[in-house]
Amino acid sequence: MVTTGQPSPATRTDRSTPRVDADGIVTGALADLARASGWSRPVLLDADLLILVTHGHGSAELDFRALPCRPGTLLRARPGQVLRCLGPQLDATLVRWGPETLRGLDVDPDAVPAYRQLAGEDEDAVISEVTQLAVDAGRHAGVPAAAALLRHQLAVLLLRLSLLPAAGERETPRAETETFRRLCREVERGYRHTRRVEDYAAQLGCSVRTLTRACLAVTGRSAKQVIDERVALQASRLLAATDEPIARIGRRLGFPEPTNFGRFFTREVGVSPGAFRAAREQPLPVRMVRPRPPADSPAPAGRA
């Protein structure tokens, strides 16, 4: 169970239930995410999230990547991902928002990196903006005129985070990056129905070779690997965070026969679906990263 320590300035206003404004912006504390399960296993997220660690040390498992956490750690999580936070006295401020919150504002939430350890002026600025957002959400709860204020505060925060200098990202030609993003968007819409590169190439109006070249440039993996890893990631999420029968998960992902799903999952992940589910309550070693990162992010900056 995640426990909370002495609240830092950024969390002092976040001890009660999350606050919601008219546009779906919520501020709260880390424990709000896993009240029932107490983080005994990963939680399937249903909203966009920013998580700013404010107290304690521990780890966060975001889509089966274990990341070290301490004050100043920032996580950007999206709907459909799975998250578990572990560590005594680990506490954080959450900012959640809905799909319509940023409509009409010139900001791309997917440009925010999934994991950063803030420091110096960047940390001070982000803590200040998160704190003010939480204070205003509480102070002006239920006030219609405050909706625009909170939306713009969130947009400024996301823009600031998207402008942080890249941490070890390699340069990728712009054309290939854009092709990769377009493929990821199509895969996100269609991975339950097809895993054929040819189908996605036809939808995008390009060749299989073009898609493979873009994927290799951005991720070091082929287009087929990118597609299969997205399917395996979704299977992993459902196996870890739900009690849905394994055969039903396979059918949802396009495998009418459980044996075919089992072979696919074992090939991609290295263990059977049953073994993966049985181990879901075991914490991952910190800094453990899947050998081939998942491909459901529309941009390489979305990977930790």
Per-residue pLDDT tens digits of the chain, which is 304 residues long: 333 333 343 333 333 334 444 357 888 888 888 876 678 889 999 999 999 999 999 999 999 999 999 999 999 999 999 999 988 788 999 999 998 899 999 999 988 989 999 989 988 999 999 999 999 988 887 788 888 899 999 999 999 999 887 655 555 568 899 999 999 999 999 999 999 999 999 999 999 999 999 999 999 999 999 999 999 999 999 999 999 999 999 999 999 999 999 999 999 999 999 999 999 888 877 644 343 343 444 333 333 3
β-bridge partners, 61:
66, 84
Helix axes 197-204, 174-190, angle to 10 degrees: 110
User: Whole-structure pTM over 0.85, yes or no?
Assistant: no
The pLDDT assigned to 281 comes to 86
The residue whose two tokens read 């006030």 is 143
HSE, side-chain direction, 13 A CA sphere, residue 143: 11
Distances (CA, A) of 135 to 53, 127, 206, 228: 17, 12, 49, 43
Residues 6+ apart with CB under 8 A from 180: 172, 214, 215, 217, 218, 219, 300
* Strand 26-29 to 91-97 pairing: antiparallel
| Residue 136 token pair | 């205003």
β-bridge partners, 69:
58
Angle ∠(51,149,160) on CA atoms, nearest 5 = 45
User: What domains can be seen in the chain, in order of their start residue?
Assistant: 25-163 (2.60.120.280), 174-281 (1.10.10.60)
β-bridge partners, 82:
44
| Residue 281 token pair | 């309550």
Alpha-carbon gap, residue 209 to 132, rounded angstroms: 49
Distances (CA, A) of 164 to 109, 111, 174, 221: 13, 10, 19, 26
CB 53 within 8 A of CB 128: no
